Amino acid sequence: MTAAPLLRLRSLHVEIRNEAGRVHPVRGVSFDLHAGETLGIAGESGSGKSLTLMALLGLLPRGATLRADQMTFDGADLTKIGAAQMRRLMATGIATIFQDPMTCLNPVLKIGSLLEEVYLCHRGGTRKAATARAVEMLERVGIANAADRLGQYPHELSGGLRQRVMIAMALMCEPKLLIADEPTTALDVTVQAGILNLLDQLQRDLGLAIILVSHDLGVIGRLSHRVAVMYGGQIVETGPARSVLQAPQHPYTEALLRCIPGMKVNPQSARLTPIPGQVGVMSGDLSGCQFRDRCRFAQSRCTEADPPLTEIASTWRSRCHFLPDERLVKPEETPA
């Protein structure tokens, strides 16, 4: 018998009202996440991936509203719990690390105070116990001389060490789910690799479920069991990470991979191929495929009807009117 998902999301919609009218940055997003599993969510800025997670955490911006057929975590209905319950849940159930730790760590507090505050707020106990837990977590995330680091301020640490402190802080109260929102964007390549290896090791040691958000499918491929590619506020392709990255079925997934050095989606050319145009604002008439104006395979049907989420395999779906062997490259974009 298959265990129930730790996190279940069904048909999540987010709407934002502003002076220009209504914007729909998240539209009908659904997925499950099981304990010990990593789901990678990929897409360009503006695709809706981070706002999907902010909806889960109850951190939507002012003027934004959500509706969902189902949004549950470990049996709790996230659409019905209050603010106090959500605060407790965000430390003991769901923890989050962000892309720039320098903006998330209070610059006037020492590392020890930052870590101990999380523990005392949600677990209680003595300051001595909180300090011991802080040292334990700093050591677990690979920071040497952990006890000495407690007396340092964030600006005294490198970017990689600050991100490790953020991970330690997120794990202080033993959450079941870790959300990593662009955790390596501000780091250089070697430090980035170290952070990804750390997340992989922590998951295997602690049995964490992880949602990894990134615009880089190369990063997603390092850790994820499954991947969900978002565009225009929708999931346009989802499936096993290895399958999706080796044989993408949606034109947007393929286009993202063509921007990454070393990805074998275009064996005829070693050149990187940028995606023309930019992500549009999700307002007004949203009928048809939202990627059509940037897609080299777009046809009239893409404008006229919303593409279905078509089954490729039992756990693999693609939101496109055409399978890869049915697509025709636009004449003006045919390679020379």
4-18 residue pLDDT tens = 899 999 999 999 987
On whether residue 286 sits in a domain, the answer given is: yes
Residues 45 and 143 in one domain: no
236 with 295: CB under 8 angstroms? no
Q: How far apart are CA 33 and CA 9, in angstroms?
A: 9
Length of the chain: 336
221 with 245: CB under 8 angstroms? yes
Residues 142 and 226 in one domain: no
Residues 192 and 303 in one domain: yes
Output the average pLDDT for the chain. Answer: 89
16-74 residue pLDDT tens = 987 778 899 999 999 999 999 999 999 999 999 989 999 998 889 888 999 999 999 99
Count how many domains the chain has: 2
Residues 39 and 155 in one domain: no
Q: Which domain holds residue 161?
A: 102-174
On whether residue 52 sits in a domain, the answer given is: yes
Alpha-carbon distances of 300 from 124, 128, 174, 186, 309, rounded to whole Å: 61, 67, 51, 41, 19
Residues 138 and 264 in one domain: no
On whether residue 335 sits in a domain, the answer given is: no
At residue 335, the pLDDT reads 45
119 with 128: CB under 8 angstroms? no
Residues 190 and 280 in one domain: yes
Say if residue 331's pLDDT is above 60. no
Q: Which of 126, 147, 174 is the last residue of a domain?
A: 174
Beta-sheet pairing, 70-73 with 7-18? antiparallel
Q: Which of 174, 198, 221 is the last residue of a domain?
A: 174
On whether residue 266 sits in a domain, the answer given is: yes
Alpha-carbon distances of 20 from 16, 27, 282, 286, rounded to whole Å: 10, 19, 12, 15
122-137 average pLDDT score = 93
Give the domain CATH number at 242.
Answer: 3.40.50.300
Residues 75 and 109 in one domain: no
Residues 120 and 75 in one domain: no
With bands split at pLDDT 50, 70 and 90, how would you rate the model's confidence at 103?
A: confident
What whole-number percentage of the chain has pLDDT above 70? 94
197-217 residue pLDDT tens = 999 999 999 999 999 998 888
Say if residue 1's pLDDT is above 70. no
What's the predicted TM-score (pTM) here? 0.91
Say if residue 99's pLDDT is above 90. no
Q: Which of 115, 146, 174 is the last residue of a domain?
A: 174
